[in-house]
Amino acid sequence: MAGDSVGGNMTAALTLMAKQRGDVRFVHQSLYYTTDPAQRAEITASPLRATLEDATAQAIEVLKAAPRPADGARV
């Protein structure tokens, strides 16, 4: 189980949940860096705090920055 940034927080939460339930046992956990509590108000660290407008604007920026497939490439 591994994660970085928000993934690090999710990794920690999932590992704790698995320990409580007792149904999954992880061999190793790597937290590269977790979200700083001061950053949790930002929508990139806590997406559930985002409004629909925030989420749409963020998605558009991510899509604009994404690499484009070559002409004729199957996606």
Q: Write down the pLDDT at residue 3.
A: 77
Question: Does residue 14 form part of some domain?
Answer: yes
Q: Are residues 13 and 31 in the same domain?
A: yes
How many structural domains does the chain have?
A: 2
What tens digit of pLDDT does each residue of 22-71 get?
A: 888 888 877 776 667 777 777 666 667 777 787 788 778 877 888 877 77
Question: Does residue 73 form part of some domain?
Answer: no
Q: Are residues 31 and 44 in the same domain?
A: no
Instruction: Say if residue 16's pLDDT is above 80.
Output: yes
Domain region containing 54: 40-67
Question: Does residue 72 form part of some domain?
Answer: no
DSSP 25: -
Q: Are residues 27 and 7 in the same domain?
A: yes
Q: Are residues 44 and 29 in the same domain?
A: no
Compute the distance between CA of residue 74 and CA of residue 72 in angstroms, rounded to an integer.
6
Question: Does residue 23 form part of some domain?
Answer: yes
